[in-house]
Amino acid sequence: MDLLTVVQQCHNDDPWSDTSLTPFFLSQPPQGVQIGFLPPSVDRKQVWLNDSLQTKKARTEGLRQIVESWRDRNIFPDPLKGWRNELYSIYGPDRKEAFALERSACALFGLATFGVHATAYTSNYKIWVPKRAHNKSTWPGYLDNSVAGGISAGDSPFDSMVRECGEEAGMQESLARSAMKQNGVISYFYRTPLGWRQPEVEYTYDILVPDSFQPKPIDGEAESFELMDIDQILPLMKQGKFKPNCALVLIDFLIRHGFLTMENCDCDYVKLVCSLHNDLRLPGP
């Protein structure tokens, strides 16, 4: 694959142009605000946030009952087989949290989710690359970003990133807070192999770590870490060895640090850069 094809393995959808999807509104149209996309299989379940659910607490509880019922009756085993007991914030107008929902259920409704990804690198631009544990429910055994995770309801991106650094890589909080630099976001529409829509925004961070730093798998998310040269990473990306959205984060890193330029890019450079930053046209924080 060239790098644009790598990106398109992740940014592979445009739900706004798909007439088979039903808009998912925070309240009934025409007054409602669209927050997601319902596929026919979910639309037939007549899922709406009706006008009686006026508070964040009521919406959270109403949808919790629905998705737990589906889980317990083995309806939509994909994606609910990956149940995490972790709530994500779902946003409405004015950047306000509308409700919280179990992480694995968000794809059922095509809701925008938000995460954090960090690239930990040394002074000579070697990058720490973990291999995902083979028992993970998603992308087992694939290569990943140095540290990554979803933003749990109530967390800020920065605090989520600091916590993930400790939990996933054993990084001291003092190092994470002092060395971590937030540099932007990537955003994309991902359609899973079974057709679920996952609009996502990832806050991206760089962490310049001491040459003596050695990450350690702590929480079992990763099974190992390897310090790689950029010349090692690029072929592995093109071979599809990285989890798709993690490849996007690394491409963004290489562009920002001057390793990937118009002169050495193997595809349409402008299209590549633009493909990392897509307007989801959905509410966010």
Extents of the domains making up the chain: 3-12+113-274, 20-109
The whole model's pTM is what? 0.94
Instruction: Please tell me the class of the 20-109 domain.
Output: alpha beta
- What's domain 3-12+113-274's architecture? Alpha-Beta Complex (3.90)
Cα gap 256→246, rounded to integer Å: 16
Cα gap 205→97, rounded to integer Å: 24
pLDDT tens digit string along 160-203?
999 999 999 999 999 999 999 999 999 999 999 999 999 999 99
Q: Which residues 6+ apart lie within 8 Å of 115 measured at CB? A: 148, 149, 150, 151, 200, 201, 202, 203
pLDDT tens digit string along 8-67?
999 999 999 999 999 988 876 556 789 999 999 997 765 655 555 678 998 999 899 999
Which segments of the chain are extended strands (E)?
22-25, 34-38, 87-91, 97-102, 113-121, 127-132, 147-150, 180-191, 197-208, 222-228
Answer for the pair 46, 24: CB distance below 8 angstroms, yes or no: no
Task: Name beta bridge partners: 227.
Answer: 128
pLDDT tens digit string along 252-265?
999 999 999 999 99
Give just the sign of the alpha carbon dihedral 80, 82, 83, 89.
negative
